[in-house]
Structure 1
Amino acid sequence: MTEPLVSIITPAYNSEKFISETIKSVIAQTYKNWEMIIVDDCSDDRTCQIVNSWVKKDKRIKLIRKKINSGAADSRNIALENSKGRFIAYLDADDIWYPNKLSKQVKFMMEMKCGFSCCSYEVIDSDGESKNKYIYMKDILDYKGFLTNNLLQTVGIMADLKIIERNNLIMPDMKRRQDAATWLQVLKSGKKCYGMKEILAKYRRVEGSLSSNKLKAAQGVWYLYRNVEKLSLILSIYCYIRYALLAIWKRIYVNNYSQKRCSIDN
C-alpha cells in the first residue's frame, strides 16, 4: 500500500544558520513519501543558495522565492497553495523533527481517523542544546480549550485534507500569532486537535525572535482574542487570565518535571 503524500510547509527568512539541519531532519525521516516546500521571504543571506544545494540532491525538496517580503503567514499560504499532499505538516526553518515523526503521526491520525493533530516536543536553544523543557499535548483540544491553552506548537501540527478543509489552513495576515489564529479556524469549524504524548520534534527558541519576546507574545494573544476572534471584553479578560495562569504553571511545572527527568536520566 502506497504511503499518502505529506506536504511539508517551511517558511524561511535569513535562515542560513539553521536551514541545513532542518532539511537533514526531513531527509532522515523513516517515512519517505513527502515533499518539502520551502518558501523564501526575500532573504539577504545564503539561505537560497543553501536550499538550492539540497534541491539538487533531493527532488522532493522545492524552493519558491518571493519577490516581496510579506511575512511567514503569506509564505505558508504560498506553500499550501502549491502543495499536493493529503497531509499537511508544518516545519519552520530553524526547527527539527525526530526521524520517526512523520511515520508515527500519519499512523496515529489514520488509526484515530482524526483530521488535526499535534505531537509533543522538546525545546532547544539557538545552539541546538536541550533546554530540558518537554511540552506534552493534551489528548483532545477543542476551540474553547485552545483559547486558554498555549501548548500547541507549529512544529508538531499535522492536518489531513480529507477531513480538514484546505481553506481553514489559510493563515490570516498577522505579524504574530497567525499560526494560533489558523488553529482556531480549524477548531472553530468543529474539528478537534488530538494530541500525541510522544516527543517527536524539537522547537528552537532563538533569543530575540518574535516568539521569545514575552511582552510582545502577550500583546499578540490579546490582539488574537479581541481583534481576530472578536471575543467580548469580559470573555477576553477571562481567557487571558486563564492563558497567563497556564503559562506560569507551565513554566514552573515543566521546569520542575524536566529537572527531575534529567536527574533520573543521569
Structure 2
Amino acid sequence: MPAYNSAETIRDSIASVIYQSYPHWRLYIIDDASSDNTAEIVHSFCEPRLEYIRQERNGGVAKARNVGIKRANGIYIAFLDSDDIWELDKLQQQLVWLENGFDIVCSNYGVFDTDPKKLFTVRTYPEKLDFSTMLRGNCVGNLTGIYNQQRLGKIFQKSCGHEDYIMWLELIRRTDKVCCVQRLLARYRRGGNSLSSNKVKAAIWQWKIYRQHLKIGIFSSLYYWLYYVVTAIRRSLIFRFEK
C-alpha cells in the first residue's frame, strides 16, 4: 500500500485489510514522504501483521510499490492503494482460484467518489483473460489483482503513468492461467482531477506502452490503441450518464 498524504482516506483502506475473512496476510505500507499525519494514523493500528516503511524522499507511486514488492516474501502479492477498499472476503474468494491452479486472479470492482457505499458504476471484465485481451485495455484493476510470485517471480513497476498496467502485461505474458472473479471484490475511489487533458495523457502513455515498452509493430499498435480510445470514450459517456 503506497501512501502519500493519505490521512483522509488511509484508515478505511487499512481496516479493509485487517478485517479480511482470510487471516494469513501481511500489509506493507510505504509512506512516500508524507507531510501530513499519515504516519500517526498508521501507527494507531495495533496490528502485528502491519509493517510501516517510511521513505525519506518522495519517489512516486511506482517506486513506493516496488519497495513493498521487494519486501514481500509470501506466496502471493496483492495491491491496494491508500484511498481504495477491499471487500471483506476479497482474499478468501480469490484464494479459491489461486489454490486451484491459477497464477493471476483479479475481480470486478465498484467505483465511488467519496462514500464507498454509494457506487456510481461497477467495472466488469471477462472471466478468462489473456495477453491479447489485455492489449485492448487493462482488465486488471490494480486494487483487485493478486498473483503467485513463487511461480511468476517479482515484476517491478516502471514510472510511466500506466505503471501497474505494464506490470500486469508482463506477468500475463508468463502464464495463461489468469481469471477475473465475476464478483465485486473491491471499491475504487475516483479522484477529482480526471480532466480531459489527463485522458489525452493516458492515451499517449498507452501508445508508448505498445511502441516503446512492448515493441509492437505500428499497425498492431494502431489497432489496439484505437480499441483503447473507443473504450475510454464509451466509459466516459457512461460515467456522465450515471452521474
Task: With the length of structure 2 as denominator, give the TM-score of the two structures.
Answer: 0.91
Tell me if the contact between 1:122 and 1:130 (Cα under 8 Å) persists in the aligned partners.
Answer: no
Tell me if the contact between 1:120 and 1:135 (Cα under 8 Å) persists in the aligned partners.
Answer: yes
Inter-partner Cα distance in structure 2 for 1:122 and 1:28? 19
2:213 corresponds in structure 1 to: 228
Q: Kindly indicate whether residue 47 of structure 2 is the aligned counterpart of residue 58 of structure 1.
A: yes
1:117 corresponds in structure 2 to: 105
1:41 corresponds in structure 2 to: 32
The one-letter code matched in structure 2 to 1:49 is E
1:213 aligned counterpart, secondary structure: helix
Cα shift readout 1:195-242 (whole Å, capped 9, x = no counterpart)? 110111001111126999322222221222222112222222111101
Inter-partner Cα distance in structure 1 for 2:73 and 2:202? 33
Report percent identity of matched pairs: 32
2:156 corresponds in structure 1 to: 170
2:202 corresponds in structure 1 to: 217
Cα shift at 1:20: 0.3
1:154 aligned counterpart, secondary structure: coil
Tell me if the contact between 2:112 and 2:189 (Cα under 8 Å) persists in the aligned partners.
Answer: yes
Inter-partner Cα distance in structure 1 for 2:105 and 2:205? 23
Distance 1:210 1:221, change over 3 A: farther
Distance 1:160 1:242, change over 3 A: same
Cα shift at 1:63: 0.5
Aligned match of 2:193 in 195, 199, 208? 208
Distance 1:213 1:106, change over 3 A: same
2:78 aligned counterpart, secondary structure: strand
1:132 corresponds in structure 2 to: 120
Q: Kindly indicate whether residue 14 of structure 2 is the aligned counterpart of residue 23 of structure 1.
A: yes
2:230 corresponds in structure 1 to: 245
Tell me if the contact between 1:109 and 1:115 (Cα under 8 Å) persists in the aligned partners.
Answer: yes
Cα shift readout 1:22-60 (whole Å, capped 9, x = no counterpart)? 011111111111100000111111111111222xx1010
Cα shift at 1:107: 1.4
1:5 corresponds in structure 2 to: none
Number of residues paired by the alignment? 243
Cα shift readout 1:168-218 (whole Å, capped 9, x = no counterpart)? x2112x141000000111122244431110111001111126999322222
Distance 1:150 1:254, change over 3 A: farther
Distance 1:186 1:157, change over 3 A: same
Inter-partner Cα distance in structure 2 for 1:202 and 1:249? 21
1:197 aligned counterpart, secondary structure: strand
1:78 corresponds in structure 2 to: 67
The gaps in structure 1 that reach 5 residues or longer are 1-9, 260-266
Q: Kindly indicate whether residue 132 of structure 2 is the aligned counterpart of residue 144 of structure 1.
A: yes
Cα shift at 1:152: 2.0
Aligned-residue CA RMSD in angstroms? Answer: 2.3
User: Mean Cα displacement is larger for which, 22-31 or 127-136?
Assistant: 127-136
Tell me if the contact between 2:103 and 2:175 (Cα under 8 Å) persists in the aligned partners.
Answer: no
Cα shift at 1:254: 7.8
Inter-partner Cα distance in structure 1 for 2:190 and 2:134? 21
The one-letter code matched in structure 2 to 1:88 is I
1:4 corresponds in structure 2 to: none
